[in-house]
Amino acid sequence: MTSQRIARLSSRAVIGVSGPDWRSFLQGLLTQDVETLAPGELRFSGLLTPQGRLLYDLFAAGLPDGALLDVAAEHRDTIVARLSMYRLRAKVEIGPLDLVVAAVFDPSGATVTGEGLYADPRLAALGARVYGPVDEPDADEAAFEAHRLALGVPGPADWLSDRNYPIEADFDLLAGIDFKKGCFVGQETTSRMKRRGTIKNRMLPIVFDGPAPAFGAEVLAGTLRAGEVLSGTDGRAMALLRLDRIEGAELTVDGRPVRVDRPEWVPPTPTAASV
């Protein structure tokens, strides 16, 4: 028996990209491959600064003659302007679309089914996305965000804009970066971090008693700074953590004990002997 639910995501909006050059245009900009994006397929990706920092997350949904870009609603106009800046002579049309974005998910993590679903490429347990007319929602966006947080997956409220590298936001573990696709904006820094193994920080969930600490609250390993708290709710939050300071350490935030709840999809931190 399924406990499948539908939540309208009012924090998300849609951009349409079409025209003869739409694939090559997006291919040179996004962290994920779109040359092989098929109709009905969804790919998680990022748009980076030339220095490799994460500007915006997005999902590219394949259509027969183009793609839909699922982006943060508050940044849609800025993203349209930024994409247009890169267009130059490319034969591509870019513009906002009046489509509803919804998430279909099962709080148990079971696979969801239905017509017109785009499976979430990050984790199967996250369910799927829908663009356009949807059945009457039976959950709100907060319920889906709680589901995402329970799975340990960071979101836009955690990485903000032009602050973190996509690998720090776990894009490499959540099918958000194709390291074999060739050049994209910010590719050099991203590839170098992966190749050299210089991943010092990652976003991981932490658990604690009581309300979430304030955004930016310091995570301490003894007296050493081990990271900072990001978004969260009672009992659970995301944190950007220094991997070399959290293993086996007693962590605190504002004097309260906290514990890292490493998801199964996050590999163990390499030890000095294994590096």
> What's the rounded Cα separation, in Å, for the pair 263 and 195?
23
pLDDT over threshold 50, residue 273: no
Helix (H, G, I), strand (E, B) or coil at 56: strand
Q: Which pLDDT belongs to residue 240?
A: 98
In tens, the pLDDT along 220-261 reads: 999 999 999 999 999 999 999 999 999 889 999 999 999 999
Q: In this structure, what are the phi and psi dihedrals at residue 36, rounded to the nearest 5 degrees?
A: -105, 10
The yes-or-no verdict on residue 1 having pLDDT over 80 is no
**Residue the block writes with tokens 């997005």:** 58
Which tokens belong to 73? 């609603």
Tens of pLDDT, residue by residue over 130-177, are 999 888 889 999 999 999 999 999 999 999 888 999 999 999 999 999
Residue 115 φ then ψ, to 5°: -75, 145
pLDDT at 275 over 70: no
Distance separating alpha carbons of residues 106 and 178, to the nearest angstrom: 28
d(CA 65, CA 226): 47
Sorting pLDDT into bands at 50, 70 and 90, what band is 2? low
What structural domains and CATH numbers belong to the chain?
5-159 (3.30.1360.120), 200-275 (2.40.30.110)
CB contact burial 10-43 (16+ within 10 A = b; e otherwise): eebbbbbbbeebbbebbbbbbbbbbeebeeebbb
Q: What pLDDT shows up at residue 270? A: 59
Among 25, 21, 11, CA closest to 56: 11
pLDDT tens track for 79-99: 999 999 999 899 999 999 999
Between CA 97 and CA 95 the distance in angstroms is 7
Q: What is the C-alpha separation between 74 and 212, in angstroms, rounded?
A: 24
pLDDT for residue 135: 80
pLDDT of 274 strictly over 70: no
Q: pTM for the full model?
A: 0.94
Angstrom distance (rounded) from CA 50 to CA 183:
11
Q: Of the candidates 163, 269, 251, 152, which has an alpha carbon nearest to the alpha carbon of residue 205?
A: 152
| Higher per-residue confidence, 161 vs 53 | 53
